[in-house]
Amino acid sequence: MPKDMLIIANITLDIYNAVLGIILVIHTIIRHVIRRKVRIWFLLMISANILMSIADIFTWIFEGNANQYNHIILPIAMFIFYIMTFGIIFCSGFYIINSLNQDKYRKAFKISLIVSAVIYYIALLLTPVFELLYSIDENNIYTRGYYFIIPIILDTLLYFHCFAYMIINRKTIHRDKVFPILSFLIFPQILQIIQLLYYGISLVNTGYTIAFLIMFIEANRNLEQTLDTTESELSEKEVELIRRVHEAQNTKLEVIKMQNHTIESLSNLVENRDEDTGEHVRRTRAYVELIAVQLMKNNRYPEIITPRYIRFLKRAAPMHDIGKIVVPDAVLKKPGRFTPDEFELMKRHTSEGGRIVHEILDGFEDPEYIQITADIATYHHEKWDGSGYPSGLKGEDIPLCARIMALADVFDALVSPRVYKSPMTYEEAYAIIESGIGKHFDPIIANEFLNIKEKTAAVNESFKLSNYDITD
C-alpha cells in the first residue's frame, strides 16, 4: 500500500477511535450503565485510548517533516502515545479486578500491575536520552528502539496474569462478565500481532476501541435486564404492600372499634355503680361533639380545634369519670349530701382518672388522644374562676377539652333524673349554665352552647326515646 494511503488510513482509524471513545465517555457518564467503582477505570481506559489516538494522528502528520516545530511536536506526541499505550493496560487491569471482584490472586495481580507500570515508565522516561523504546532521527523519522520488546513482554505478562486471575476464580465469576473481558484480552492482542508483522499499520488502539464498545454494549444489556427484573420485583412488592396496607387499615379499624367498645363498656360499668342507666356517657359524648363542632364552625380556638381533635375528643369523653372506680360504693351511691371527708374521697376520682387513663392507654394509643383523655378525666371538675378541683386551675389554664367536658357533664346532670333528685326542665338548666358564665364555665364555650339549645335538647329527647345512635 502506498505510504500516503497508509497514513490516511491510519489517521482515519484514529479519528474513528477518538470520536467513538468520546461518545462512549458521554454515554457512560450520563447513563451510569456501569457501577461507580468500575466506571472510573472504564472511563480512564477510554480516555487513555482517545489521547493515544490523538497522539497517533499527530505522529502521522508531523513525522518526516524536518521543520523545527515538528521536531518538538513529534517527540511530544510520541511520548504521549507511549504513556497512554501502557496506561490503557494498567487501567484495564484494575477494571478487571474491580469488575470481577474476586479475592483469589487479587493482591498478586495488583502487585504485578504496579511493578510492570514502574518498569515501563522508567524505561519510557529514559527513552528520549538512551533511545530504549524508540528513537527520532535528525530527519524527524520515528523508528523502534533496541528495547522495544520491553513493553511487549510486559503487556504479554499482564495479559497472562489477567487470564490466570480469571481461571483461578472461574467457579465464582458471573458468566455475563466473562465475554466482555475476554474480548478486551483477545482483540487488542490479535491486532498488535498484525501491527508487529506489518510495520506502519496502527491497529492496537482500534482493537481497544472494539473491546470497549463490546464492554459498553454488554454492560448496557445487563443494566436493561437488571432494570426489567427490578421493575418486575417492584411491581410485585407494590401489590403486596398495597395488600398489607389494606389489611393493616382493616385491622386498625377493628382494633379501634374494639377499643371504643371496651372504653364505653368500662365507662358504663363505672356509671352503673353510680346507679345511673349508663346512658350518661353516651349523652355527654353527644353534647361534647355538638359543642366542639359549633366552636369549630364559628372559628373558636382554631389553633386547637380541628377534625382530628374533635375525633379524639369524642372518643375520650366516655372516660371522663373512669376514676370513680376507686371511689367506695358507700360514697358513690349515697343519695344525700356528702360530708367533707366523703367529698374529699369523691374528688379523688379526677386525679385517679388521669392516672388510670395513662395505665390503660400508654403505648397503645396516639399520644395526643391519651393527653386529651387524661386531661378530661383529671380536670373536668375545674371551674373558670379557679374554684374547682383537683388543682384549682383558672381560665385558660384549664385544658380546652376539660372545659368542654365540664359543660356537657353539668348539663346532663341537670336534665337527667338521679336517685336524689328529679330532672330539671331545659330552660332551668340553660338558665343555670348562663348564670355560670365566667364563674363555672368558659364564656366562649357556654355562649356557643346556648346558641344550640334546640340541638342539645333534641339529643336528650332522642335518648329518652332510645332512638339516638351515635357512631364512632
Structure confidence by residue, pLDDT tens digits, 358-395? 888 877 778 999 999 999 999 999 999 999 999 999 99
- Would the pLDDT of 67 be above 60? yes
Whole-angstrom distance, CA of residue 319 vs CA of residue 300 = 24
Q: What is the pLDDT at residue 445? A: 96
Alpha-carbon span 228 to 239, nearest angstrom: 17
Highest mean pLDDT among 228-237, 333-342, 441-450: 441-450
Grid cell listed for 332: 358513690
Nearest residue to 98 via CA among 34, 155, 159, 184: 34
Place of cell 524508540: 134
DSSP designation for 396: G
Q: How far apart are CA 372 and CA 312, in angstroms?
A: 7
Q: CB atoms < 10 A from the CB of 385, how many?
A: 14
In angstroms, the CA 136 to CA 118 distance is: 24
pTM summary value: 0.48
- Assess whether the previous peptide bond of 390 is cis (omega < 30° from 0): yes
pLDDT on residue 210? 81
Contact 332, 304 (CB under 8 A): no
> Which one of 111-125, 271-285, 333-347, 356-370 scores highest in mean pLDDT?
111-125
